Amino acid sequence: MKKILSFATILFLTFEATGCSLLTVRHEPKDIIISNEKREDLDGSKTIKEKMYLQYQQWKDTKYARGGLSKKGIDCSGLVYVTYLEKLGIELPRSTKLQSQVGKEIKRSELRSGDLVFFKISVKVRHVGIYIENGKFLHASTKEGVTISSLSDYYWKNKYWHSRRVDIESSLSFNVFWQST
């Protein structure tokens, strides 16, 4: 009985430790797909920052669920995936690992609304969020669910790994062009 309990405990801890970094992958890192569905205000009348706050308002009561993609539960890379798709019309890879390879790496000092921010939580666990403004980022926390945190918070400041920028502006221009032809 102790062996079964120990095995179950190890299995559970292994799944918990992987976080959202080892989920099923839908696309290679360079395959960013521009979606024609679920577009909201892609003509630019709302800023990216406003779209991120709107996404927070729409998802703020959603709990964390590893592998989740709905309002019943969502994980960090799922929130990034859904946010980019719904608010920007861009389909990113589904996993944190592949999201950490899209776009171009940028310095922390160059962050602007919509940039992806990545954290090393432990040796194997990675976390991702979307930068909003003034050191704040939108993400799905394992404890708080969908929330906005500060890069300078005690927990996050020492776990910061790197940031990446997906070319949102040209994607939005591309979307508007294709919608008008």
The pLDDT tens digits of the residues spanning 154-174 come to 999 999 999 999 987 655 544
**Cα–Cα nearest to 99, from 172, 6, 23:** 23
Q: What pLDDT sits at residue 14? A: 41
Which one is predicted more confidently, 31 or 117?
A: 117
127 is catalytic: yes
Name the least confident of 34-48, 49-63, 110-124: 34-48
- Alpha carbon dihedral 160, 162, 165, 166, in 10-degree steps, equals -100
| CA 4 – CA 125 distance, rounded (Å) | 26
Q: What band does 20 get if pLDDT is binned at 50, 70 and 90?
A: low
Q: What pLDDT sits at residue 46? A: 77
pTM score? 0.74
Helices (H) and strands (E) in the chain, counts: 6, 10
Considering the candidates 20, 27, 127, 162, report the single residue annotated as catalytic. Answer: 127
pLDDT per position as a tens digit, 96-135? 999 999 999 999 999 999 999 999 999 999 999 999 999 9
Mean pLDDT of 77-92: 97
pLDDT above 70 for 71: yes
Measure Cα distances from 38 to 26, 44, 89, 91, 97 in Å: 18, 15, 7, 11, 25
Q: What band does 8 get if pLDDT is binned at 50, 70 and 90?
A: very low
Considering the candidates 20, 27, 139, 162, report the single residue annotated as catalytic. Answer: 139
Considering the candidates 20, 27, 76, 162, report the single residue annotated as catalytic. Answer: 76
| CA 91 – CA 125 distance, rounded (Å) | 23
162 is catalytic: no
Mean pLDDT of 130-143: 97
Q: Which fold is adopted by the domain 20-180?
A: endopeptidase fold (from Nostoc punctiforme) (3.90.1720)
Mean pLDDT of 31-35: 40
